[in-house]
A and B are shown apart, each in its own frame.
Chain A
Amino acid sequence: MSGFEYANAPESKAIANIDNSYGLFIGGKFVNPKKGKSFNTINPATEEILSKIGYADRLDVDLAVKSARTAFTKIWSKMPAKERGKYLYRIARIMQERAREFAVVETLDNGKPIRESRDTDIPLAAAHFFYHAGWADKLDYVGLGNKPKPVGVVGQIIPWNFPLLMLAWKIAPALAAGNTVVLKPAETTPLTALLFAQVCQQAGLPDGVVNIITGDGVTGAALVNHPDINKIAFTGSTEVGKAIARSISATKKSATLELGGKAANLVFDDAAIDEAVEGIVNGIFFNQGHVCCAGSRLLLQENIADEVLEKLKKRMSLIRVGDPMDKNTDLGAINSAEQLKRIQEISNTGDAEGANRWSPECKLPSKGFWYPPTIFTGVSQSHRIAREEIFGPVLSVLTFRTPAEGIEKANNTMYGLSAGIWSDKGSKVLWAAKQLKAGVIWSNTFNKFDPASPFGGYKESGWGREGGRHGLAGYLTSDVKASK
């Protein structure tokens, strides 16, 4: 062996008990879809089939909503709040106990590095349940007056980028507030949601409080349009978010929508450069860039641009791309062939429109879906790669001359989910944070999440907030007649 090459350090798959097939989780039991249809979920790193998943159509959705309604009226809304809290604590503890199993299944189904599912996704998902468990009997303090009421039955649709974490963001506050849910995981990543269904059984959660139906966009639309749903909570693309908003208009349904982003990561010339470079890497290459709040637009102050880019390229050549199950992998597989195609398509417009592409040398596996860490320099505001969400490991680099110009460019987008500020000067950080039109602003860090911190966007990045008191308020109403 010449030099310090890290030998393979694969996490064992033995702990993951993935069944050959899964039904739908309705009324506390796994049931076969009425029409018996199914689809496969694969490992995007190898294209191997992991399991056969039940496909829910309109009839199944109806059953799930009915089961949620029954559980809501008969059990969950009547249960003393502190008892609801106990169930949530129990779920949180079981998730922690089964954390390794969840991490392995998540990585197999999603393609993200095991280091991230192990150190970020699963611990944060459990943290969301712990946090909201504490809220269950303190809803009078959410800020909606005395005895706010749950909204009722909530339809929840989540994306494939953080399957279990997004489930936790949705289910934990809904249950704490006294709602029951029908949740649809993404078509390409249903496994951890189905594992979570087993956790609900293990925790003895009353039947029907959580229902999990698997399927595609048609399933999702059936859920959104079901007449007995009180609220829709959706995380996903702006395009689908708009369609949901249209279809629930002129109904009594409320919605929280957490949609796309094209976050600006602003690096000022007085920043801690080495740490800023780390933050840039974490901002765009964390989870293969499959992050709605990814720092996909890097805005560098012109007088430090060369230095930062040189350091960034050096740092990018250290990114370890490959087998997501290897504990040393930094960048895993793209979640699906479809997403890879989308990344390729938008990135190619970068070349066509005159930006300069750079990627470090890296060997990509022959099977599965992969995209190298990529940056484009010489990008201008008018380029598609500066405007559209790529949702992949592709960074567009722009420059600014004065702080005011930096802010102006940062805000010149139809999105407004997140932003990053890098400066060693506290006053400048506070000034910039005030000017930026984004729901989440990180200073001298990026992609940090906490259940207590509300998350959500401005403009086309969505409606409402998730997490913290603000997120919880979205699952409650002060109108006593609301959920009747």
Chain B
Amino acid sequence: MIVDGSEGSLKKFLADLAPVDQVGADSRAAMLATRSIKTTSKAWAIDMAISMVDLTTLEGADSPGKVKALCSKAVRPDPTDPTVPMVGAICVYNDMVKIARTELNTLGGKDIAVAAVATAFPSGRASLAVKKLDTQDALNAGANEIDMVIDRGAFLSGRVGEVFEEIKIIKQLCGDKAHLKVILETGELVTYDNVRKASYLAMLAGADFIKTSTGKVTPAATAPVVLVMLEAVRDYFILTGNKIGVKPAGGIRTTKDAIKQLVLVNETAGPEWLNPSLFRIGASALLNDLLMQRIKLRTGHYASANYVTMD
């Protein structure tokens, strides 16, 4: 046991973590962004990225029709090309979980997970009782993954015990029914030191994945933030032997962005993390750009946007 869960033990653990130098982290991320990924490696990266996409719709206007369309896209991203892999998961609000699960099963997408955002997403401003109910509701509907938000207010005012406890409780609810992704909302944590501390807090409390953002706050999944989180999972693995996943979400819209993320993974956590069970990309618009680039690689020219489906 690394920490006993008391506020004191958590504070001590977090205080002992090495600091992050912002200038250095920024420049490392910028250097890795210059990697030039071409031809065969680009083709590999595009398919890997597609299989890592958590295809997401988190709008007030979401309807069963919209979610079903997204499920169809998840199973067959490019209807003209059966060699395109399925995406990693569908990510929706609680009330859409059942619809998504049923639709995916019908379309032959049993292996695609349904992730539900719970715990008063996106702000997390509700009582623990409500957050528990919210999570239970998603689990009852058949969610395979729970994307919870941490209490940023508690974290920023130093009540790390509370943050830890809440994650632990939600993890207990998930049990072995669902994977737990913990959203740090790094845009509200602001400093890289906070990102590192919150990453460890989530991992110590039982997160299966640490996720950058809700997608409702900017900045979201910036390269240096993802770099710091990948360093955290790499070092946590050395410390405990457990591999924790990372999910950047928000702001990754182009194939170039996605490939930069994969380079970050490859040269930080290492090639073992280049796997949908350890790295996901939360996105909606990204998938179509990946498909367009895939067509370009195959045919040698760019297709118009009408050659990929709009969902």
CB-CB under 8 A from A115, the residues of chain B are 34
Tell me whether B28 and A4 are in contact (CB under 8 A): no
A9 interface contact, C-beta 8 A: yes
The CA of A8 and the CA of B267, in the complex, are separated in Å by 17
Tell me whether B35 and A7 are in contact (CB under 8 A): no
CB-CB under 8 A from A444, the residues of chain B are 21, 23-24
Tell me whether B271 and A4 are in contact (CB under 8 A): yes
CB-CB under 8 A from A228, the residues of chain B are none
CB-CB under 8 A from A272, the residues of chain B are 18-21, 24
B299 interface contact, C-beta 8 A: no
B35-56, CB < 8 A from A: 35-42, 44-45, 48
A275 interface contact, C-beta 8 A: yes
CB-CB under 8 A from B6, the residues of chain A are none
Knowing A3-B274, A4-B266, the reply to whether A275 touches B25 (Cβ < 8 A) is yes
CB-CB under 8 A from B42, the residues of chain A are 7
Tell me whether B21 and A4 are in contact (CB under 8 A): no
CB-CB under 8 A from A431, the residues of chain B are none
Knowing A115-B34, A272-B19, A424-B19, the reply to whether A445 touches B24 (Cβ < 8 A) is yes
B262 interface contact, C-beta 8 A: yes
The CA of A3 and the CA of B262, in the complex, are separated in Å by 11
Contact of A6 among B18, B25, B41, B274 (CB under 8 A): B41
CB-CB under 8 A from B41, the residues of chain A are 1, 4-7
CB-CB under 8 A from A119, the residues of chain B are 34
Contact with B along A257-299 (1 / 0, CB 8 A): 0000000000000111111101100000000000000000000
Knowing A272-B19, A327-B34, the reply to whether A1 touches B24 (Cβ < 8 A) is no
B180-218, CB < 8 A from A: none
Tell me whether A7 and B39 are in contact (CB under 8 A): yes
CB-CB under 8 A from B39, the residues of chain A are 7-8
Knowing A1-B41, A119-B34, the reply to whether A274 touches B48 (Cβ < 8 A) is no
CB-CB under 8 A from B28, the residues of chain A are 274-275, 278
A41 interface contact, C-beta 8 A: no
Distance to closest chain A CB from B260 (angstroms): 12
The CA of A1 and the CA of B39, in the complex, are separated in Å by 11
Contact with B along A109-129 (1 / 0, CB 8 A): 000000100010000000000
Distance to closest chain A CB from B141 (angstroms): 36
Distance to closest chain A CB from B19 (angstroms): 4
Tell me whether B18 and A273 are in contact (CB under 8 A): yes
CB-CB under 8 A from B266, the residues of chain A are 4
Which B residue's beta carbon lies closest to that of A118?
B34
Tell me whether B262 and A4 are in contact (CB under 8 A): yes
Knowing A4-B271, A6-B41, A7-B42, the reply to whether A275 touches B36 (Cβ < 8 A) is no
The CA of A3 and the CA of B272, in the complex, are separated in Å by 9
Distance to closest chain B CB from A344 (angstroms): 29
- Which 5 residue pairs are nearest across A and B when measured between Cβ atoms? A275-B24, A9-B36, A272-B21, A327-B36, A275-B21
